[in-house]
Structure 1
Amino acid sequence: MEAFYIVVLVSTTLVLLAAFSSLLAFRFGAPLLLLFLAIGLLAGTDGLGIQFSNNYLAYILGSIALAVILFDSGFGTPVQAFKLAAVPSLTLASVGVLMTASLIGVAAMWLLNLTWLEGLLLGSIVSSTDAAAVFFLLRIGGINIRDKVRSTLEVESGTNDPMAIFLTIALVEVLASGERYHGINIGMLAMFVQQMGLGVILGLLGGMMISLIVSQLETDRGLTPIFVLALALLVFSATGAVGGSGFLAVYVAGIYAGNRKLQGYASIKRFQAGMTWLAQIIMFLVLGLLATPSQFPAIAIPAVLLALFLIFIARPLAIWLSLLPFDYTQQEIGFVAWVGLRGAVSILLAIMPILGGLDNGQIYFNCAFIIVLVSLLVQGWTIKPVAKKLGLIIPPRMGAVDKVEVDLPGAANHELLSYRVVKDSPVLRGERIPRWATPSLVIRDGKSMRYQYAGRLRENDLVYLFVVPSYSRLLDKLFASRAPVEEDDADFFGAFALSPARPAADLDAAYGPGLLNESEKGLTIAELMKHRLGGKADYADRVRLGSIILIVRDLDDQDHITSVGMSLEALEPATALPIFLNLHDIIDRIRDRLKGRRSRETATAATSAGGDEKPQ
């Protein structure tokens, strides 16, 4: 019993230490997941001396934690965001992962003296980005970028794990069997189709099951989030048991369930957020405890070189080739290439060669661990500066909002929102609350009063209102603090303002011809932008028409464009090197170069002809 209490005491202390370390991360901008990993290293064999070498238990705990993280990632992904970035993200999660693994495999053969198959296994282990790291940096790190780029990174990080897991398992089985590798065979393709197909199908069915059970469930409100999480883990384990990808299934189930109006949605989200934090802490602490830093120096130099090769060559090249057919700017492709953080998933996959009994099992683990450390140090600390350098951080649409959603029982067609009145908010400056919102209660200095008798609202008042869900964004504007205005905001949104209702043909007449095709000449500017953006426009979206750029300045509550900016200056290239250009840009550059050559040839010919003429 004393040993049991000591284990509980040490475990709880480590979790608390990791939780308190988040305060340092938020203050100094340090990669939080790196701190979790460092705490595990410091407490392990070469630190405080905690002995933990159970690879199987670490793999089980890590897999369950990853399933919880992926479900929450999917639960918080709007279906519109998934549709917006589905095709490029899935291309990155499949073709991109395969190319990254192959490039790392070639480098590992040379740096670590491995065979091609062994190098490919190491490449597969570190080929996927870490969902926990990416979601933390983008959602909590205050990096405000275009929805298309954010959605691409989030969906990629949520869907590339199954591909990396499949490659790792398949290669471990081939190496463990001692058979020679003869390339991709029918069996491997069938296994891939089975895992991914079952993952998608059972994930959708699981999401439907979760939505149906929660909507029909009549139980204590505190039990609802537990039911949801337990059902998600049921989807994960059942899919894996029948030969599908449980990780893909639980992510798909999260997307489906999160986009349904579930009873107690707000409490489910809060519970999921807490469980995701706990899962990240446990996963990184356990994997940190499992490592033995005294073994790192033996392979430190080749492992660091592999990490740098991954960050600066393999990942950027794979991302560029994968996104070549899609309409991403050079800056956006460069940023996606940089946000390729490796994390717990790579370390978790590095346990598989040890469990498979491979001769170099510990080398894979130590090498992957060093690559993750370098990735978190180099990329995790520089994500925001890189986004700012590339001009991708968009000006805030409005300031901070202090809002809490209060659950209502059943399928109520209203929601109860609680807003704290903050400094410089429109409602504090006297802006009236619209009639379609029903204020019911004000809490001031700890005392509650009906809204009718509260008088003029004061700073720090808590206001409770009933509102139809589709109108809540309008209330956010009323209760938001004033958005900071930077000097370069005008540059971001263009020097000129255009009416969205103007005919798009005016642009073709003024800056064309050839900007529009025949079907687009009858559209308004707003309709043209939505058409070019795939049917949905978002704040700060850009549409390039020849030498001009149209920018969405604002939208109404129905997502209709209400203000458009225009810039006559092309975006500065992300780099002087001819990389990260999409296919459209490459064709344009080739066309411009050919036109320039023809112009020079014509001018040369005219000059020669003029010199040969003899005066009459």
Structure 2
Amino acid sequence: MMITAENILLIGSILIFISILISKTGYKFGIPTLLLFLLVGMLFGSDGLGIQFNSAKDAQFVGMIALSIILFTGGMDTRFREIKPILPQGILLSTAGVLVTTLLTGLFIYFLSDHTKADIQLTLLASLLLAATMSSTDSASVFNLLRSQRMNLKENLRPMLELESGSNDPMAYMLTIVLIQVIGSGTDLHAGIIARDLLVQFFFGGTIGYAAGKFAVWLINKIELPNTSLYPILLLSIVFITFTTTDLVHGNGYLAVYIAGVIVGNAKLASRKETQTFMDGLTWLFQIIMFLALGLLVNPHEMIGIAGIGLLIGAFMIVVARPVSVFLCLLPFRNISLRARLFVSWVGLRGAVPIIFATYPVIAEIPGSNQLFNIVFFITLLSLVIQGMSISQMARWLKLDMPQAKEGNAFGVELPDEIDTRLDDLTLTAEMLEEGNRLADMNLPQGTLVMLVKRGNEFIIPNGQIELHEGDKLLLISENKQKKRQNL
């Protein structure tokens, strides 16, 4: 069955519907939801139920849109106070770590090709190109796994891993594009050219991303739109303008949208709740679409021939290349424990980004690019199965897991950022009511008021004489500590 304009809505809706239902079952067994979306695409593809989708350009375009949204939303969820202490570690992992992974993996692939009877024949440059497409950790997979599994980690590891995955695509992208150009033109590989292009990518990506984030915050807080639903749509347009503008000046659009997201997420923003809800929903939608498209693109029967070599390369990346790059990058930081280094080494997740990068050689018609694409796809599946399904278990085994911090309150009430207060909830116990069961008898801190009382499914607007019961939940509004000190 060919995907046409007439049936794309029906087929797409059915695939999304099935993916969401399957993901609910998979979550109970600890299977990464993104892996399931990929498998659904493969099930319905050419070797499954027969949907024909073979356009690498279309898959690349879908991936570009999806990654822009995923990285921006990931940036919005990243608290600057959390990433500030681990900024040097994250930058080293996302630059030097990618380069070391590429070199080690590329040399290993070339060794297999040149010195063994493995069914792969690649030049040194082609081996490095294959390694470069897989050298970055996947932002969609890392964000999704750490947040969907509600993981809270010691030693500030979660923001470090999210920062690395959100900012290491530029290096992998640059290496991939440069190697494609060198192979395609037949010229020599010059380290100076790579360094220059990389600096351009980072400079324009960082500068435009920062400026776009500041502009977005200013505009959304300044403009008065007739409907609050328009604010997230306005923000989304800025995201795509940021990506395309950065790409036009040869900067890295993925880095730009991530930095813009960090700036927006750490500023006071009008209609934040509506915007966050909209972006979270859109992120999930495009994650599903992206992984389904990539699953449809691959021909599973073609991976049978590269399964052996894929296992060898995948095992090398998991056991050797990733740990060596992590330990080298974190060598200057003595305060990071051995357990933390081992965990960071294990979270070298591959996902949609390597597969999307692997479409570039296919589009450029590099010799053997289809084999490269299949190897990358196989290793991505391997990574999601082995590493993705064991991250939470590895955190527990290394004793790095922590209880998830409670977010929000039991009432689901939020206040605009402009109001310098915070909301908390409190569940009453028998001990709390020993000195009296009226609200007036409660010994609340100065500057704290009770907004609502929740009793079962009933919500009560309180006054001082209301009788409280054990198990009642109180919604408390309090002045921030800084404001309290100013008042004193």
TM-score, with length taken from structure 1 = 0.71
1:190 to 192, 196, 201: 196
**Cα 1:354–1:414 shift into 2, 3 Å:** same
User: C-alpha distance in 2, partners of 1:365/1:427?
Assistant: 63
Structure 2 equivalent of residue 449 of structure 1? 460
User: C-alpha distance in 1, partners of 2:420/2:359?
Assistant: 49
User: C-alpha distance in 1, partners of 2:457/2:482?
Assistant: 28
CA contact (8 A) 1:387 1:393 kept: yes
Structure 2 equivalent of residue 228 of structure 1? 235
1:148 to 135, 152, 156: 156
User: C-alpha distance in 2, partners of 1:353/1:344?
Assistant: 16
Structure 1 equivalent of residue 318 of structure 2? 311
Q: What is the deviation of 1:178?
A: 2.6
CA contact (8 A) 1:81 1:147 kept: no
1:73 alignment partner AA? G
User: C-alpha distance in 2, partners of 1:423/1:456?
Assistant: 8
CA contact (8 A) 1:427 1:433 kept: no
1:249 alignment partner AA? A
Structure 2 equivalent of residue 126 of structure 1? 134
Q: What is the deviation of 1:445?
A: 5.4
Q: Which runs of 5+ in 1 are unaligned?
A: 473-556, 558-616
User: C-alpha distance in 2, partners of 1:33/1:428?
Assistant: 48
**Cα 1:397–1:261 shift into 2, 3 Å:** closer
1:371 to 359, 379, 382: 379
User: C-alpha distance in 1, partners of 2:482/2:469?
Assistant: 21
Matched position secondary structure for 2:460:
strand
User: C-alpha distance in 1, partners of 2:235/2:397?
Assistant: 41
User: C-alpha distance in 2, partners of 1:217/1:68?
Assistant: 23
Asked if 1:252 is matched to 2:259, the reply is yes
**Cα 1:418–1:392 shift into 2, 3 Å:** closer
Structure 1 equivalent of residue 367 of structure 2? 359
**Cα 1:82–1:36 shift into 2, 3 Å:** same
Structure 2 equivalent of residue 261 of structure 1? 268
Q: What is the deviation of 1:152?
A: 1.3
User: C-alpha distance in 1, partners of 2:167/2:447?
Assistant: 41
1:300 to 291, 294, 307: 307
User: C-alpha distance in 1, partners of 2:85/2:432?
Assistant: 34
1:354 alignment partner AA? V
Deviations 1:425-475 (Å, cap 9, x if unpaired)?
99799885534232233354555432126531564x665544445699xxx
**Cα 1:3–1:60 shift into 2, 3 Å:** closer
Structure 1 equivalent of residue 392 of structure 2? 384
User: C-alpha distance in 2, partners of 1:427/1:464?
Assistant: 16
1:159 alignment partner AA? S
CA contact (8 A) 1:442 1:454 kept: no
**Cα 1:31–1:171 shift into 2, 3 Å:** same
User: C-alpha distance in 2, partners of 1:81/1:365?
Assistant: 36
1:349 to 348, 353, 357: 357
Deviations 1:125-170 (Å, cap 9, x if unpaired)?
0000011111122222133212522221111111101110111111
Deviations 1:516-574 (Å, cap 9, x if unpaired)?
xxxxxxxxxxxxxxxxxxxxxxxxxxxxxxxxxxxxxxxxx9xxxxxxxxxxxxxxxxx
CA contact (8 A) 1:68 1:276 kept: yes
Would you say how many aligned residue pairs link Structure 1 and Structure 2?
466
CA contact (8 A) 2:451 2:475 kept: yes
Q: What is the deviation of 1:81?
A: 1.6
CA contact (8 A) 2:152 2:405 kept: no
User: C-alpha distance in 2, partners of 1:407/1:441?
Assistant: 14
Report the RMSD for the aligned CA atoms in angstroms.
Answer: 2.7
Q: What is the deviation of 1:22?
A: 2.6
User: C-alpha distance in 2, partners of 1:423/1:437?
Assistant: 16
Structure 1 equivalent of residue 115 of structure 2? none
Deviations 1:30-54 (Å, cap 9, x if unpaired)?
1111111101110111011000011
Asked if 1:199 is matched to 2:205, the reply is yes
Structure 2 equivalent of residue 273 of structure 1? 280
Asked if 1:158 is matched to 2:166, the reply is yes
Matched position secondary structure for 1:9:
helix
Q: What is the deviation of 1:266?
A: 2.1
Matched position secondary structure for 2:412:
strand
Q: What is the deviation of 1:3?
A: 5.8
User: C-alpha distance in 2, partners of 1:72/1:44?
Assistant: 30
Structure 2 equivalent of residue 216 of structure 1? 222
Identity of aligned residues (%): 35
CA contact (8 A) 1:405 1:418 kept: no
The structure with the largest alpha-carbon Rg is 1
**Cα 1:448–1:165 shift into 2, 3 Å:** same
User: C-alpha distance in 2, partners of 1:141/1:278?
Assistant: 18
Structure 2 equivalent of residue 37 of structure 1? 38
Q: What is the deviation of 1:274?
A: 1.1
CA contact (8 A) 1:92 1:322 kept: yes
1:137 to 142, 145, 148: 145
**Cα 1:424–1:96 shift into 2, 3 Å:** farther
User: C-alpha distance in 2, partners of 1:371/1:21?
Assistant: 23
Structure 2 equivalent of residue 178 of structure 1? 186
Q: Which runs of 5+ in 2 are unaligned?
A: 113-119
2:468 alignment partner AA? R
Q: What is the deviation of 1:16?
A: 1.5
**Counterparts of 1:7-18 in structure 2 under 5 Å?**
7-18=8-19
**Cα 1:39–1:425 shift into 2, 3 Å:** farther
CA contact (8 A) 2:428 2:470 kept: no
CA contact (8 A) 1:210 1:232 kept: no
User: C-alpha distance in 2, partners of 1:426/1:133?
Assistant: 45
User: C-alpha distance in 1, partners of 2:454/2:352?
Assistant: 44
**Cα 1:195–1:3 shift into 2, 3 Å:** closer
1:18 alignment partner AA? S
1:442 alignment partner AA? V
1:96 alignment partner AA? G
CA contact (8 A) 1:441 1:463 kept: yes
2:329 to 322, 328, 337: 322
Structure 2 equivalent of residue 46 of structure 1? 47
Structure 2 equivalent of residue 514 of structure 1? none
* Stretch deviating more after TM superposition (40-49 or 145-154): 145-154
CA contact (8 A) 2:175 2:194 kept: no
Asked if 1:412 is matched to 2:419, the reply is yes
TM-score, with length taken from structure 2 = 0.89
CA contact (8 A) 1:404 1:418 kept: no
Asked if 1:60 is matched to 2:68, the reply is no
Q: What is the deviation of 1:189?
A: 2.5
Matched position secondary structure for 2:191:
coil
1:394 to 402, 406, 426: 402
Asked if 1:87 is matched to 2:88, the reply is yes
